[in-house]
Amino acid sequence: MFCFLYIFINIINTNSGDIMNKKKYKEIVDLNTPKENSVKNALIAFLVGGILGSLSELLLRCYSIWFDLPRKESGVLVILTLIAIASILTALGLFDVLVTKVKAALIIPITGFAHSMTSAALEYKNEGLVLGIGANIFKLAGTVILFGVVSVYIFGLVRLLIMGG
Amino acid sequence: MTYVYAFLFCGFVCMVAQIIMDNTKLTPGHVTSIFVVVGAFLDIAGIYDKIVLYAGAGALIPITSFGHLLIHGAMDIATTLGPLGLAFGIFDLTSAGISVALFLSFVLALVFKPRH
């Protein structure tokens, strides 16, 4: 709001009535966009992401003791647990509040993937089951799957043909 | 010791993503896509398998493991079937995550109302 007011005053101050040149406009915009403390953000992301990693390792060991599973299967169970927690938090509207606080620490783990699906499904719910939820559920998560599959085909073929697996 | 490595690796990945997002104009969508490709790339010569061995769940949680699991499943089948195996095995290990996420999103979208 303040930003727009500032630009408006500047336009009046030039008083020639000319359209402000793009360079000056960009300078003013850069001056008024709020600067975030990137060192603090990075530190928060590191700490919260690290705690999440340690907790999931604890959960993995608990699962392999409780259900008597090998590490690989309990790893899948941990991922499923995180997906379920993230989806429920998104549906309750709490996930966005958390993301504004800890930023990338919740977007980069698999929770971000589940969040993007659930939020897309909720957002387009009003447009119907098929054209709303069905058509838009992969709206954000689709990029992850698309680039994953494309890169796997490229790297996989290279590995098979050149390195022999 | 696995807990410490899990803390360090998961924290490191999140921190790199945060730094990229703060200093460039890339959105979270761009960063997750890049990280999936990086994860698939790191599976070459079993680098990511070694990371999983040391960091445990700390290496399974970040989105890089999605790319790793995709190519891992694909290569497992491809070693016996040849290039066609890439298509058969690509979703072998990630199907649980994707299907559960899809199912839960649909059910939760039916039950809850969107909040803004």
Read off the pLDDT of residues A63-81 as tens digits, 9 standing for 90 and up: 999 999 898 889 999 999 9
Contacts of A101 (CB under 8 A, 6+ apart): A44
Q: B62: which strand partners?
A: A109
Contact state of A113 with B7 under an 8 Å Cβ cutoff? no
pLDDT of residue B83: 85
Nearest to B93 by CA among B55, B115, B116, B66: B66
Which member of A105, A148, A163 has the closest CB to residue B66? A148
**High-pLDDT (> 70) share of chain A, %:** 85
Contact A45 B29 (CB under 8 A): no
Question: Is residue A84 assigned to a domain?
Answer: yes
Chain A residues in contact with B48 by the CB 8 A cut-off are: none
Q: Distance between alpha carbon A129 and the CA centroid of its chain, in Å? A: 25
Per-residue pLDDT of chain B (116 residues; tens, 9 = 90+): 889 999 999 999 999 999 999 888 898 899 999 999 999 999 888 899 999 999 989 999 999 999 999 999 999 999 888 888 889 989 988 999 999 999 999 999 999 988 76
Nearest to B29 among A49, A117, A140 (CB): A140
The answer to whether residue B116 is domain-embedded is: no
Q: Report chain A's terminal Cα–Cα distance, integer Å.
A: 57
Sign of the dihedral through C-alpha A113, B88, B38, A72: positive
Alpha-carbon distance B113 to B116, whole Å?
Answer: 10
CA distance B115 to chain A (A): 6
What is the span of the domain harbouring residue B103?
Answer: 2-111
User: What tens digit of pLDDT does each residue of A78-128 get?
Assistant: 999 999 999 999 999 999 999 988 888 899 999 999 999 999 999 999 998
> Which pLDDT score is estimated for A58?
93
At residue A9, the pLDDT reads 59
Q: What is the pLDDT of residue A104?
A: 85
Mean pLDDT of the A135-158 span: 92
Range of the domain at A110: 44-137
Residue B64 lies in a domain: yes
**Contact between chains at A84 and B100 (C-beta distance less than 8 A):** yes
Question: CA angle, A137 as apex, B10 and B57 as ends, to 5°?
Answer: 20
A-chain residues near B58 (CB < 8 A): 50, 53-54, 56-57
Using an 8 Å Cβ cutoff, are B9 and B55 in contact?
yes
**Residue A50 forms part of a structural domain:** yes
pTM: 0.83
Q: Which of residues 52-111 of B touch A (CB under 8 A)?
A: 55-58, 60-63, 65-67, 70-71, 74-75, 78-79, 82-83, 86, 90, 93, 96-98, 100-102, 104-106, 108-111
Q: How confident is the model at residue A18 (pLDDT cuts 50, 70, 90)?
A: low
How does DSSP classify residue B112?
S
Nearest to A153 by CA among B83, B46, B29: B83
pLDDT reading at A20 higher than 70: no
The kind and range of the H/E element at A14 are helix A2-14
| Residue given tokens 């590995």 in the structure block | A159
N- to C-terminal Cα separation, chain B? 42
At B82 the pLDDT is 84
Number of domains comprising chain A: 1
Q: Which residue has the tokens 């058509």?
A: A135
Give domain status of residue B9, yes or no: yes
Q: What is the mean pLDDT of residues A140-149?
A: 92
Q: At residue B114, what is the residue type?
A: P
Task: Tell whether B1 is within 8 A of chain A (Cβ).
Answer: no
Question: Cβ distance A149 to B70 under 8 Å?
Answer: yes
Count of domains observed in chain B: 1
- Say if B24 falls within a structural domain: yes
Asked if residue A35 belongs to a domain, the reply is no
